[in-house]
Amino acid sequence: MKNILFITLTVVFSGISVFFRKLAVDKIHPYQIQVLAGLLYGALIPAWMFFMTKSSINFNFNILGNLYGVLCLLSYVLSAVILGLLLKTSASVGTISILVSINPLITLLFSYFFLGEEINLKKIIATILILSGVALLK
């Protein structure tokens, strides 16, 4: 039940984020949004450090783990900038958001090929439904 709540919150906040990103890129350049994001992330470092000391998080330095974290953030920033540029040049925010929402298919493929995750009938049906929904937009 807890996972369903967290998944729902993730989806809701992602949707709200894209909505506010569109409002922002109508007023400022997507690069400025990334500068603001960097400043906000930097300002939150003390809070994250506080939460780490209050919970049972083992702060270890793993070179490969940190490399993956950096690659994660770089790919996220790149996707955020590209999304911002798309939103700035488009009047159809909903369509762009739906088309961009097929990104879990990329994650599924990467998980299958690189992590050995199983692709079962449920995932195949879900993929077909996602692609069908996107095809309806055309």
Euclidean distance between the first and the last CA atom of the chain, given in angstroms as a whole number: 36
For range 66-73, the mean pLDDT:
92
Percentage with pLDDT > 70 across the chain: 99
Q: Which of the four pLDDT bands, split at 50, 70 and 90, describes residue 138?
A: low
* Residues 35-43, mean pLDDT to the nearest whole number: 94
Is residue 22 a contact partner of residue 94, using CB atoms and an 8 Å limit?
Answer: no
